[in-house]
Each structure stands twice: as structure tokens, then as C-alpha cells.
Structure 1
């Protein structure tokens, strides 16, 4: 188990949650953290893509009226 996963497991065990349920809950929370990390990286990519598109559109707009 990873560090965070073992901490969650130990927290569940300290409140007398059965061992099998504590292991499953810790694994589920670990999976959720992986999913959140993936979403954060996807959002970062989307921000860069949107910034590029906006800069390109502003460049076209400026070229239309300046030239």
C-alpha cells in the first residue's frame, strides 16, 4: 500500500471498521486521487489550448483593423 492509502487504512481501523472494508475504502480513495490527478492535467492542457486559440483570434482581429 502507498503511504496515503495506509494512512486511510489505519484511520478506518482505528474506528473499528472491519479489515476488508478498510482495505477496500483505502483503495477506492486512492483510485479517486489518481482520477483527480488525471483531470487536473487534462484541465491544464485545455487552458493552454484555449489560450492559444484566443491569442490566434486576437491576432487575426488586430490584423484586420491595423493592416
Structure 2
């Protein structure tokens, strides 16, 4: 729960139970939104790691072929 939002609802005159529920809902929405973004970034990072590894392996193969022959 985000205490600032809870306090704002109480100051606006909302009942305590409704203010608490609203603050918890806002906190849950905020966390779920950021969790999705973090998972997306992590999946993109995995793809970038694989592409970088492949590029390095290809460079090593080309350089090896160049200097061996």
C-alpha cells in the first residue's frame, strides 16, 4: 500500500476501509505494470546476449580462417 495515497484519500473524506482498498489497488497496479516491463527488458537482454555471442564466435572463426590459411 502507498501511504501517501491512503492519507490523501482520508484527507479527502473517504472512509478508512475504502481508502485502504484504493491505495492497495493503486500499489498492485503499479507493481504489475513494472513487473511486465522488467520481464520484457530481461527477454530482450537475453536475445542481445545471444546475438553478441554469435557475432563474437563468427569473428573468431573468420580470423582463425584468415590466419591459418
TM-score by length of 1: 0.71
Per the alignment, residue 56 of structure 1 pairs with: 58
Cα distance, 1:40 vs structure 2: 0.8
Q: Which moved more, 1:18-27 or 1:45-54?
A: 18-27
User: Within 2, Cα distance between the matches of 1:19 and 1:47?
Assistant: 42
Structure 1: state its 5+ residue gaps. Answer: 1-11
Could you say which residue in structure 2 is the equivalent of 1:21? 23
What is the deviation of 1:18? 2.0
- Please identify the structure whose Cα radius of gyration is greater: 2
Q: TM-score, normalised by structure 2?
A: 0.69
Gaps of 5+ in 2: 2-16
Aligned Cα RMSD in Å? Answer: 1.6
Off by >2 Å, runs of 4+ in structure 1: none
The number of aligned residues is 53
